């Protein structure tokens, strides 16, 4: 693959293009192949987390849509490693469920939420590149699967207990080996390489190839996209080098004071190094706070220390 990419990245598409109803067909194609059913998007659900802002290049990218079954689908793209990511997606789904409830609404009306996470880092331990999580109740003695009775099926319009609860999809892009065995793999190939092969037939990919062409972007939009890519590359480089500095500092200190202390100090050193590099680059305090999690007072102390 050449350095000049033919198609824009999916995160940029979500930020700028796929929020338009005219381009819902691309998202519908991806969701249909992943969920193994025909998906029709009714509308976009705005929330604080998927609004564009000046700090968004340091945050995750997410989009929330409602399908024809009134289910809410969260599509999230994450580049930077987060060890508590599994907790964060649980929080995001829970918040979406609560926000979707109307006052005095019965529990039977709770909205089903599907969380789809496109990850460009390796989360947890596992050899696969796509993981699907659901909620099931298994008998402790007979090991049978708890099901719905007929009245519950009529009430919920669902066939199983797990269909009532949120579902999670974790797509670990970097573990994909670039061999497309089926139509979903064709989508994963595109998400990883920003390229679509002529032989690909997955739903939505042809429309993506047409509408996500870099060369067809207006000049201003193309320049904004190139700047966004530069920002991501710089951020990735900064985190990689800072993580290494903090790790080795913690490792050396750990020899004398114990591995646990070394790990903690290494993490603190990593955060401090990242903050200092951002300060040197002239980043604003609110950006440094968003990236590192440091308090304003701690950041101001670091600023004072290098003056």
Highest mean pLDDT (candidates 96-105, 112-121, 141-150): 141-150
User: What pLDDT sits at residue 36?
Assistant: 95
Please, are residues 129 and 171 in contact by the beta-carbon 8 Å criterion? yes
Q: What local confidence, expressed as pLDDT, does residue 2 receive?
A: 40
Pairwise CA distance, residues 111 & 71, whole Å: 6
Annotated domain spans of the chain: 10-216, 219-305
Choose from 165-169, 212-216, 238-242 the range with maximum mean pLDDT.
Answer: 165-169
Question: What confidence score (pLDDT) does residue 4 get?
Answer: 34
User: pLDDT of 125-156, one tens digit each?
Assistant: 899 999 999 999 999 999 999 999 999 999 99
Q: Which residue has the tokens 């102390």?
A: 301
Q: What is the pLDDT of residues 170-228, one digit of tens each?
A: 999 989 999 999 999 999 999 998 889 999 999 999 999 888 877 566 777 777 776 76
The CA distance from 290 to 133, in Å, is 29
Mean pLDDT of 90-103: 86
203 within 8 A of 184, measured Cβ to Cβ: no
Q: Is the pLDDT of residue 268 over 80?
A: no
Token reading at 5: 């990419």
171 and 122 Cβ atoms separated by less than 8 Å: no
How far apart (Å, rounded) are the C-alpha atoms in residues 193 and 9?
9
What's the pTM value of the predicted model, to 2 decimals?
0.70
């Amino acid at each position: 693959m050449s350095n000049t990419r033919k198609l824009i990245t999916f995160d940029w598409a979500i930020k700028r293009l796929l929020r338009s109803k005219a381009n819902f067909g691309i998202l519908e194609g991806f969701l249909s192949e992943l969920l193994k059913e025909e998906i029709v998007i009714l509308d976009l659900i705005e929330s604080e987390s998927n609004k564009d802002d000046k700090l968004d290049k340091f945050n995750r990218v997410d989009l929330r849509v409602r399908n024809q079954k009134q289910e809410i689908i969260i599509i999230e793209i994450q580049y930077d490693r987060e060890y508590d990511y599994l907790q964060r997606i649980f929080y995001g789904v829970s918040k979406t469920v609560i926000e979707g409830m109307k006052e005095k609404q019965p529990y039977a009306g709770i909205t089903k939420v599907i969380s789809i996470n496109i990850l460009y880092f390796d989360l947890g331990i596992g050899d696969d590149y796509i993981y699907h999580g659901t909620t099931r109740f298994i008998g402790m003695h007979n090991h049978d699967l708890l099901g719905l009775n007929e009245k519950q099926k009529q009430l919920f319009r669902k066939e199983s207990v797990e269909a009532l609860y949120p579902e999670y999809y974790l797509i670990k892009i970097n573990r994909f080996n670039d061999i497309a065995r089926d139509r979903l793999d064709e989508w994963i190939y595109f998400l990883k390489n920003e390229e679509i092969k002529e032989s690909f037939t997955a739903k939505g990919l042809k429309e993506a190839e047409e509408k996500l062409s870099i060369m067809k972007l207006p000049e201003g939009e193309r320049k904004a996209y190139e700047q966004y890519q530069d920002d991501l590359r710089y951020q990735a480089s900064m985190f990689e080098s800072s993580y290494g500095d903090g790790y080795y500092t913690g490792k050396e200190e750990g020899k004398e004071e114990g591995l646990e202390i070394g790990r903690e100090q290494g993490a603190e050193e990593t955060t401090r190094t990242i903050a200092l590099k951002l300060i040197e680059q002239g980043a604003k305090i609110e950006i440094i706070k968003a990236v590192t999690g440091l308090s304003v007072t701690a950041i101001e102390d670091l600023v004072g220390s290098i003056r």
